[in-house]
Amino acid sequence: MSLGEIIMIENKTTKFSDTNHDGVIDAVGIDSNHDGIVDTIGVDTNHNGIVDAIGVDVNQDGVIDAVAIDVNHDGIIDTVAIDKNHDGILDTAYLDKNEDGHIDGVAYDTNADGSFDTFVS
């Protein structure tokens, strides 16, 4: 399926995408409130058939507010990043650096440039 092709599943509008054109779906977007704007997206970043990044538009404004990422592709979420002030820039990330399932620290983008520059453990 190509980007933008829409099919109905479980009474929700779902868009499937093959971003690298290899014939395998590697991104899915869901419009759960049927307003025409995708509010949840899942992406297979390393093209192994497993979603390893999920983004959610929490306040339904068309901008992703939270992202959960499996950084090392082991099936366990390692990082959750949030746009706390809803300016379109993820500014706080909760990190599980040692992969024990517990938050080891929090990274902050203190100057709103899109890069995390402060880490607190």
Residues 30-77: pLDDT tens digits? 888 888 888 999 999 888 888 899 999 988 888 899 999 998 888 888
Helix, strand, coil percentages (3-state) for the chain, rounded to 5, are: 0, 35, 65
What is the pLDDT, as a whole number, of residue 12? 58
Q: Report the C-alpha gap between 105 and 58 in whole angstroms.
A: 23
| Sequence ranges of the domains in the chain | 6-120
Mean pLDDT for 87-107 is 90
pLDDT of 1 strictly over 50: no
Instruction: Give the mean pLDDT of the chain.
Output: 84
Is residue 40 within 8 Å of residue 30, measured between CB atoms?
yes
Tokens of 7: 């099919």
